[in-house]
């Protein structure tokens, strides 16, 4: 896998998948975005706008295409999307898990449907044990995933996962996308706490009237 | 209740209670810190060091003393500490709840003993229904609670609680202690997400080798 040009498969064509795809195509990567409706007008426009090596396909086609996979589905749809992708297409690959197990059943301020003794990151890792799942990007809005431009300087992503080499590769991708680096909080079970940040992020957004805010770790000066 | 000089009762004489007490005495308030061992050498030294209107007592004495109460006990000890304080001593008062329901039974990286459909903030509010519980300070280390001095400028505390006037008063106290303001994320049930930030904070601390870091909300520029 070259860090210069990679084949990347994105599972999910919502705002998150399209934003990350646009950023990665812009860095020269060969991106296939997987969707239930790969020929939709929305995706045709996205291919036209992004230019570069951009294509669309089914979940299975995107997964087969990618050396690196980005999982960018709605939380509730994630397990089924992996079924459609064909778990074999993910084995041995880095799977960047951007999903959040948000539960909107109680109103606009979300909870989590996994509780605190499991996480969607762990569910993905259990479903495809031979994939190298790295939880990443799930704590920031799609508007900040590429070129985050945080006014105070450095931008560090919170990540976790079981495979150190996979995390190192993901940090290289983060660097390409304008992030200073990452804070690695451990194995994939730490996804519980990265995912639990998102209902707080949503409540802060409701309080401030913005969806473009981020949590930044300020170290002691 | 004067904003200039208040009688403040602090339940709990650990690092958090002593740090907040020191800060509040420094602003001229009349602070009684409540402890199971009010005559310990540790507390005698604290009274001597802090100067000002400082005293120690039992949980019940500190609670009776305060117009405003700060609850700064270990998570597991919180309910029993309220029993010892005498819930009647808290009724009608603002109770600033700094506690966290941390569970260290699985190792040094904590979980929460309340799950995600309850919180210690809600448990405190249910135990003393006529207190005005405001969750505050629980997301920052005790070294940053007073004069947080965040290098990038403004410092906003994340708070929640059911009583708007109580939250307004707590923001005034925050301002006295050097905070720019607060982000109010709603009713006391939002404590679930303020408390869930703390296991993430701990894991970031383990990754960075510091306990003095904070999460800061960066708004869009």
pLDDT in tens, B132-161: 999 999 999 999 999 998 877 678 999 999
Question: Phi/psi at A178 (nearest 5 deg)?
Answer: 100, 5
Beta partners for residue A96, in sequence order? A70, A134
pLDDT value for B1: 44
pLDDT value for B119: 98
Written as six digits, the tokens of B61 are 């004495």
Coil, strand or helix at A174 = helix
pLDDT value for B3: 54
Beta partners for residue A54, in sequence order? A31
Q: Kindly indicate the confidence band of residue B56, based on its pLDDT and cuts at 50, 70 and 90.
A: very high
pLDDT value for A2: 45
Task: Please tell me the least confidently modeled range out of B87-101, B132-146, B150-164, B180-194.
Answer: B150-164
Distance (Å, rounded) from C-alpha B72 to C-alpha B96?
9
- Of B151, B158, B219, nearest to A221 by CB-CB distance is B151
pLDDT value for B131: 98
- Say if A105 is an interface residue toward chain B (CB within 8 Å): no
pLDDT value for A94: 98
Q: Rounded to whole angstroms, what are the CA distances from B219 to A110, A141, A216, B154, B184?
A: 20, 12, 10, 11, 15
Q: Alpha helix (H) ranges present in chain B?
A: 15-26, 41-50, 59-65, 78-85, 120-127, 164-176, 191-208
Contact of B132 with B161, CB cutoff 8 Å:
yes
pLDDT value for A31: 98
pLDDT value for A40: 96
- Dihedral sign for Cα atoms in the order A192, A193, A194, A195: positive
Coil, strand or helix at A65 = helix
**For residue A155, which residues of chain B lie inside 8 Å, CB to CB?**
none
Task: Find the residue in B nearest to A150 (Cα).
Answer: B218
Question: Phi/psi at B24 (nearest 5 deg)?
Answer: -75, -35
Query: How does pLDDT run across B12-22, given as a tens digit for each residue?
Result: 999 999 999 99
Query: How does pLDDT run across A31-66, given as a tens digit for each residue?
Result: 999 999 999 999 999 999 998 899 999 999 999 999
Q: Alpha helix (H) ranges present in A27-119?
A: 41-50, 59-65, 78-85
pLDDT value for B2: 45
pTM: 0.96
Coil, strand or helix at B147 = coil
Contact across the interface for A116 and B151, Cβ inside 8 Å: no
| Residues of chain A below pLDDT 50 | 1-2
On average, the pLDDT of chain B sits at 95
**For residue B120, which residues of chain A lie inside 8 Å, CB to CB?**
none
pLDDT value for A149: 83
- Say if B127 is an interface residue toward chain A (CB within 8 Å): no
Neighbour count for residue A55 (Cβ, 10 Å): 14
């Amino acid at each position: 896998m070259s860090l210069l040009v990679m084949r990347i498969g994105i599972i999910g064509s919502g705002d998150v998948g399209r934003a990350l795809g646009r950023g990665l195509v812009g860095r020269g990567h060969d991106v296939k975005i997987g969707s239930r409706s790969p020929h939709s007008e929305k995706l045709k426009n996205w291919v036209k706008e992004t230019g570069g090596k951009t294509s669309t396909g089914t979940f299975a086609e995107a997964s087969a295409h990618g050396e690196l996979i980005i999982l960018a589905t709605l939380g509730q749809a994630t397990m089924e999307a992996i079924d459609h992708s064909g778990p074999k297409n993910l084995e041995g690959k880095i799977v960047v898990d951007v999903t959040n197990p948000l539960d909107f059943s109680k109103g606009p301020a979300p909870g989590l449907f996994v509780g605190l003794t499991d996480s969607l990151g762990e569910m993905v890792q259990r479903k495809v044990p031979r994939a190298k799942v790295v939880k990443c990007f799930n704590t920031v809005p799609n508007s900040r995933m590429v070129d985050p431009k945080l006014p105070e300087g450095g931008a560090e992503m919170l990540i976790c996962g079981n495979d150190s080499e996979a995390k190192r590769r993901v940090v290289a991708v983060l660097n390409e996308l304008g992030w200073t680096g990452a804070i690695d909080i451990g194995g994939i079970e730490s996804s519980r706490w990265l995912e639990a940040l998102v209902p707080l992020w949503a409540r802060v957004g409701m309080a401030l009237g913005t969806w473009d805010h981020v949590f930044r770790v300020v170290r002691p000066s």
